[in-house]
Chain A
Amino acid sequence: MFGYIQPDKAQLRLWEYEQYRAVYCGLCRSLGKHIGTLSRMTLNYDYVFLAMIRSALLGITPDIKPSRCAVHPTKKRAVAEDDKALEYSAKVSAMLAYYKIRDDIADSRGLKKLTKVAAEPICRVPLKRHAELKELGERVKEYLRELSVHEKNNCDSVDAVAELFGSVMSEIFSYGLEDETSVRIAREIGRHTGRYVYLADALDDIEKDIKHNTYNPFVCMYKDSVREKKDEIKTAVLLELKGLEAALALVDFSTCPGYKNIVENITYLGMSDKIDKIYEKLTK
């Protein structure tokens, strides 16, 4: 999750924006509490989406209160109190941050590598304490390993690679849910979210990857004509969002009604807006 799952802030009502930020602050605190102070730097806004979906699927009513924190000492801000959904999302964010760092260590050299090596224990060490996430970690690692094999072999099926990342997210959204219906909905949301993120990221990187001659599934697939296929690619990504929309329509937000609009804003406006921006950049 890398900056592709964010709301169109201008279209949020003020109190929705406040709730959105409250969940982010709550996640940050939860990270500090369950993982460690330094890990709070690894958080990004994408995990708010995960936390909100998990709240709805777990039937949690968020407890949002004004409070102060060390990062913003001057003013009281609305912060969501730690609950099962926040705790889980925070831990997962630390887990993915750790895998990302490990991946970067393998890919980088010199001073950059050194800083990554230094940062690696921040998330790794505390994650060991949380045995309940071990199984999820194994599954995610397996998919990511498979993904990197595909990438190394220059896989020319975009769908096959994206599906692996979809599987990662599918595990993450549904892990630990008990009710069978919720699991199915969560898997579907996760799958489309993961596929969308992967496709958007690959689309975003086309020019960069051509320049540095690094792997990009679209370039592998379309070769030199990749720029002409932009419309096709965009259609595919938007269809992914249709699938996400269909799954989201089944989520029951009755315990956290405020989240419904925010989640819909993220998917209907934020994500498609992001795609439009990437597309425009390519068209230039």
Chain B
Amino acid sequence: MKDPYKVLNVPRTASDEEIKKAYRELARKYHPDNYAGNPLADLVQEKMKEVNEAYDQIQRERASGGSHGYTGAGGSGATGFAHIRNMINMGRFSEAELMIDAVAQSDRNAEWNYLKGVVLIKRGWYIDAQRYLESACYMDPDNAEYKNTLNNLRNSASSYGGGYRGAQSSISPCDICANLICADCLCECCGGDLIPCC
């Protein structure tokens, strides 16, 4: 199954409103009316189905769990910290954080690190959040929930720029230096000097 966010061409961090908008645009683009009598009508039907499924999946995930994270953070594997998860799901982060910090050092397992990371994301402390999420992943490498949250955090950083980034830069630092040195040589030939130290 394809990543539903990729199908709708939106970042994971997109708001519900943005997702709805992207979905509407695609639905308009692949609307059967546009392909009436078109020889590619069957392909479009498949595409439309894919878009519908992706939208449904995102809706389901967002309704069932945390705000981001498309494998449904919140709930499933909850064992020892169910009450903290409940707090987080209700959006009461500062209370959740107090409860997290109250946990004894000896009980701080992978899940604890994970929840701490989640709360830190909410606070906007992304460096610390990554550290805790990494510990969670390190302590329990098979847990998809931990891994996804960490990946989502990193992905949302790499998708920064709303599609404006992704260009290949054609000038390397080496080129800049080489060009400067050339320019300096030329200047010196004429009696001037661009880079005084060489």
Could you tell me which A residues sit within 8 Å of B by CB distance? 13-15, 18-19, 64-66, 76-78, 181, 184-185, 188, 243, 246-247, 249-250, 254, 257-258
Q: Report if B124 contacts A (CB, 8 A).
A: no
B40 touches A78 (CB 8 A): no
B40 touches A184 (CB 8 A): yes
A77 touches B170 (CB 8 A): yes
Main SS of the interface on chain B?
loop
Tell me which residues across on chain A come within 8 A of B170, comparing CB atoms.
18, 65-66, 76-78
Tell me which residues across on chain A come within 8 A of B171, comparing CB atoms.
66, 76
CB distance from A193 to the nearest CB of B (A): 15
Could you tell me which B residues sit within 8 Å of A by CB distance? 6, 29-30, 34-35, 38-40, 43-44, 47, 164, 166-168, 170-172, 175
Name B168's contact: one of A64, A76, A184, A254 (CB within 8 Å).
A64
Chain A: which residue is nearest B39 at the CB level?
A188
- How far is A133 from B121 in the complex, measured between Cα atoms in Å? 57
A249 touches B29 (CB 8 A): yes
Complex A-B: 28 CB contacts under 8 Å: A13-B167, A14-B167, A15-B167, A18-B167, A18-B168, A18-B170, A19-B167, A66-B170, A66-B172, A66-B175, A76-B170, A77-B170, A78-B170, A181-B43, A185-B40, A188-B39, A188-B40, A243-B38, A246-B35, A246-B44, A249-B29, A249-B44, A250-B40, A250-B43, A250-B44, A254-B6, A257-B166, A258-B166
Chain A-chain B contacts (Cβ-Cβ < 8 Å), number: 50
Q: List 9 additional A-B contacts (Cβ < 8 Å) besides A76-B170, A76-B171, A246-B44.
A: A18-B168, A65-B170, A77-B170, A181-B43, A184-B40, A250-B40, A250-B44, A257-B166, A258-B166
CB distance from A173 to the nearest CB of B (A): 14
- How far is A258 from B163 in the complex, measured between Cα atoms in Å? 10
- How far is A247 from B38 in the complex, measured between Cα atoms in Å? 9
CB distance from B135 to the nearest CB of A (A): 34
- How far is A18 from B167 in the complex, measured between Cα atoms in Å? 9
CB distance from A228 to the nearest CB of B (A): 29
Tell me which residues across on chain A come within 8 A of B172, comparing CB atoms.
66
Tell me which residues across on chain A come within 8 A of B47, comparing CB atoms.
249-250
Tell me which residues across on chain A come within 8 A of B29, comparing CB atoms.
249
- How far is A181 from B42 in the complex, measured between Cα atoms in Å? 10
CB distance from B173 to the nearest CB of A (A): 13
Tell me which residues across on chain A come within 8 A of B44, comparing CB atoms.
246, 249-250
Task: Give the most central of B44, B170, B175: most A CB within 10 Å.
Answer: B170
